[in-house]
Amino acid sequence: MQDVNWIALIIFIAVFGFITWLGFAAANWRRGDLDLLHEWGLGGRRFGTVVTWFLIGGDLYTAYTFIAVPALAFGAGAVAFFAVPYTIVAYPIFFLVFPRIWHVCHKRNYITAGDFVRGRFGNRWLALAVTITGIVATMPYIALQLVGLQVVIGALGVSGTGLAADLPLIIAFVILAAFTYSSGLRAPASIAIVKDILIYLTAFAAVIVIPIELGGFGKIFAAVPPPKLLLATPGPNTTGAYSAYATLALGSALALFLYPHSVTGILSASSGRAVRRNAALLPGYSFMLGLLALVGFFAIAAGVAGPPEYAAGFKQFGNNFAVPALFLHSFPSWFVGIAFAAIGVGALVPAAIMSIAAANLYTRNIHREFFNRNPTDKQEAQMAKWVSLIVKLGALVFIIFVPTQYAIYLQLLGGIWIIQTLPAVILGAYTRWFNDWALLVGWAVGIAFGTGMAVAANLTPTYPLQFAGYTFPGYTALYTVILNILVTIVLTPVFNAIAAQRTPLDETVASDYYA
């Protein structure tokens, strides 16, 4: 422990102490009976525009985002910037679709996407498919938040051998588990406010102070090797990096709001209007994300890969160490403590929301659907609390014992899988036209092809689609969801004919979807 950065560590611990207190105190915020699932799992649906902004932002802009996006820019250059068009196109989608989903879920007391699909299509197997996809896609994402936390703890110089090395992570986990159990969604909502203030502070400091130290943007970009500065121009007969970039952006945008933690964040809003307003306000975070991608370039220009004091960090964490190294290099110790606390708290907030979202899904759409059809409110809330705990524990065990690269692969697959719920959830919010079994088959085809294509591409996100002598490298998730939709369209009239005169089950009505 002789390399510990004591000032930074003390501040880090102080911030964590504060948010621990806040997480428990949050149970009293807009007080409600936490033995009710919608109070524990959706904060009682009482979060107005501003709190929703912090919560969804805290949800979407995670520790992993802050570490991994700059790491990608540091390693691969311009392609990392896909995160910016991704968020630009995500918000119009959010604006159009999610108020409708909010309204129907509010009217019908749906807590999850699984509830919605069950009610809209009357098919418990389709709902189960959506539910399992959601849970499975969330798990590696939680694990990666813990990786973000691990990186900053390592960067503080805290080290040990064997399980002692993981002790800080375990402590953080215990804190997270405890306040999530006791306060539910109110805990990450309240902490998200603190986290975002810290993150904005850190991001602006990083984007103003560091370029000044490095001599201005001109000098920074001059230090970036030319192949990394822009997207590579495609060779003959291929759309190359251009189609990869655009499809990564569009596919990620479509998938983003299908994740259970996005749905939970949105459904906890107090009105459809709060949801719509956030579509215009959340882009504030996107700008910061763009700046963060640039931070990866600052790290190149600052030459943090060179100095021996960072070598151990890069060896252990790879390019994920770029941002911590840059901060250690550029900021005074006390600010390093704040910045790392921002990232660390930025891991806890989404991990909490993700585990709550997964718990909501299991409790409503697996346990209540298949095991105990009439739980009391208290039983339901209690089940969700336990599941949330188990999910987090699973993620912790995974991160401690399994190499990080596997979590990254699973996260990639998770993105490809979750987008397959788009027809049922997003298209389902507009029309009942699709046949529910056709949707299920479409989902299965999307999952199968998506997994196959990802494996064929060596677990990288893009697949080189070949057609008429041309190659179109593109995000596997986008290609397969299109296939999914086509299969569903083709099979809908077929299955409807086979089902003869069966009227489509739908417990929602048209007026449920708007105010």
Q: Which residues bind another protein (CB under 8 A)?
A: 78, 81, 84-85, 87-89, 91-92, 95-96, 100, 216-221, 229-231, 233, 241-242, 245-246, 249-250, 273, 276-277, 279-281, 283-284, 286-287, 290-291, 294, 510-511, 513-515
Backbone angle region of 162, left / alpha / beta, with phi > 0 → left and psi within -120 to 50 → alpha: left
List 475's β-bridge partners, or say none. Answer: 462
**Chain position carrying tokens 């299991």:** 362
For residue 391, what are the contacts with CB-CB under 8 A and spacing of at least 6? 135, 138, 139, 142, 354, 355, 358, 359
How far is CA 324 from its chain centroid?
A: 21
Residues of 137-147 as b/e, b for ≥16 C-beta within 10 angstroms? bbbbbbbbbbb
For residues 151 and 65, give the distance between their C-alpha atoms in angstroms, rounded to a whole number. Answer: 13
Output 158-164 pairs: Cβ under 8 A, ≥24 positions apart: 158/1, 158/4, 158/9, 159/1, 159/3, 160/1, 163/400
Secondary structure (3-state) at 474: strand
List 465's β-bridge partners, or say none. Answer: 472
Least distance to another protein from the beta carbon of 123, Å? Answer: 24
Least distance to another protein from the beta carbon of 110, Å? Answer: 18
Identity (one letter) of the amino acid at 81?
A: F
Nearer to another protein, 230 or 499 (CB): 230
Nearer to another protein, 92 or 307 (CB): 92
Secondary structure (3-state) at 159: coil
Which secondary-structure segment (H or E) carries 489?
helix 476-498
Structure token digits, residue 192: 């998200």
Least distance to another protein from the beta carbon of 283, Å? Answer: 4
For residue 315, what are the contacts with CB-CB under 8 A and spacing of at least 6? none
Least distance to another protein from the beta carbon of 53, Å? Answer: 12
For residues 198 and 203, give the distance between their C-alpha atoms in angstroms, rounded to a whole number. Answer: 8
Least distance to another protein from the beta carbon of 384, Å? Answer: 32
Least distance to another protein from the beta carbon of 281, Å? Answer: 8
Least distance to another protein from the beta carbon of 209, Å? Answer: 16
Least distance to another protein from the beta carbon of 433, Å? Answer: 16
* Three-state secondary structure readout of 272-300: HHHHHHHHHHCHHHHHHHHHHHHHHHHHH
Secondary structure (3-state) at 463: strand
